[in-house]
Amino acid sequence: MSFTNNSKDGDEIEEWLELNWDSTWCDPSIFNDLLGWLRRFYDSMKIKASKEMENRMIETKQQRGTIENSVNFFSREMKSQLLKHLDRPGWKHESIAYFLNRLGEEVAELCNAIESNQPREIVIKESADVANFTMMIADVYRQRKSRQIK
């Protein structure tokens, strides 16, 4: 028999013991002691499980906040880089081959910035450039979903 978390104050445990206890096993006072111990153990496990669940919820909330902060920061960087090039015609009609070529160039610029120990602002800018080209590829695929993409 398994005991669910829905049982109230160990009632399910007590019911099981009453149905399955054979008084020939031992003295009924031992039954009462065992029942008391099981109730305390069951209650302590409920408390422990509740605290563990609460801790997991707090950790998840913190992780979610960290993810949101990182994505928000980086999306602002991406937008900032895109806004510097408003004079350009955009990317809606470019080929995937063009994007892959430019992406390779931007990755090389990012690697160079990292390897030459450029200031973090430069590395962030180059990272945003790389991300923008991958975003453009995704956007073209999204827009051209029903047509053949070259």
Tens-place pLDDT, residues 46-105: 777 788 888 788 888 878 878 888 999 999 999 999 999 888 888 888 888 999 999 999
Contact 80, 128 (CB under 8 A): yes
2 inside domain: no
Domain boundary pick from 64, 86, 108: 86
1 inside domain: no
The answer to pTM > 0.75 is no
> Could you give the number of structural domains in the chain?
2
What is the DSSP code string of 23-45? TTTS-HHHHHHHHHHHHHHHHHH
**Token output for 43:** 């209650």
Q: What's the domain range around 16?
A: 7-86
Same domain as 61, residue 104: no
